[in-house]
Amino acid sequence: MKKAILHTCCGPCAGGVLKAFKEKFDEILLFFSNSNLNSREEYNKRLFEVKKLAKKEGIKLIEDDYNHSDWLRYIKKLNRENQPSQIETEAEGGERCRRCFEYRLARTAELAKKKGFSFSTTLTVSPYKNELVLNEEAKEVEAEGSLFIPLDKIGNKKEIWKESFKISRELDMYRQKYCGCEFSIKNTD
Ligand code: SF4
């Protein structure tokens, strides 16, 4: 029996990815692990949409602890080259994001290992995320007995993204305007 845990960043990304995984796996769990989110309010908004999707699809949702200060400590550690990190000021897509992926995917891999599932993430479907970096980080944290499934093994990313967009419209989901952490909030005035 093929079983997968899907790390779920938000409802608008998740719909198409879940649909594609359902065609290839017998059992799927959604795992909401997003301590990167800058406030409890934002966290609750995104969780609400994921719950809506899980209910509609009849899929079990597991919620991780929300611990933003632990996430902050993690991303502020020295970077891999052991240089002082400019993590708070750097542009989106750099070392901070790499660490952020690592933090969330490591927790997903750990849960997958405990349950004997494979794992993947809805983050990969976003056109704003670097798929290569995500896949590299997932491979880094892949624990013995929990295989990482890259999105390109499941289907065409662009098509899956389109489907996610369609589902998010149908379910009238909240669509956030920023990635998630306080460093990603842009002044839109
Ligand atoms: S911009 Fe997004 S991916 Fe990067 S650190 Fe912030 S929340 Fe994580």
* pLDDT score for 189: 39
Q: What is the pTM of this model?
A: 0.94
Report the nearest atom of ligand 1 relative to the CA of 99: 5
* pLDDT score for 4: 98
Residue 184 in contact with ligand 1 by CB distance below 6 A:
yes
Q: Which domains does the chain have, with CATH numbers?
A: 3-184 (3.40.50.620)
**For residues 55 and 48, is the Cβ–Cβ distance under 8 A?**
no
Report the nearest atom of ligand 1 relative to the CA of 180: 7
In what order do the strands lie in the sheet containing 27-32? Answer: 60-63, 27-32, 3-7, 118-121
* Listed residue (45, 46, 39) closest to 185, CA to CA: 39
Ligand 1 pocket, mutate which of 42, 70, 75, 96 (most atoms under 8 A from CB): 96
From residue 98, alpha-carbon distances to 79, 87, 101 in Å are 10, 10, 5
Residue 97 in contact with ligand 1 by CB distance below 6 A:
yes
Mean pLDDT by runs of 10 across the 189 residues of the chain is 96 98 97 98 98 98 98 80 66 89 96 96 95 94 89 97 98 96 74
The alpha-carbon radius of gyration of the chain (Å, integer) is 16
Q: What is the 3-state secondary structure (H, E, C) of 8-48?
A: CCCHHHHHHHHHHHHHHCCEEEEEECCCCCCCHHHHHHHHH
Alpha carbon of residue 186 to chain centroid = 21
* pLDDT score for 91: 82
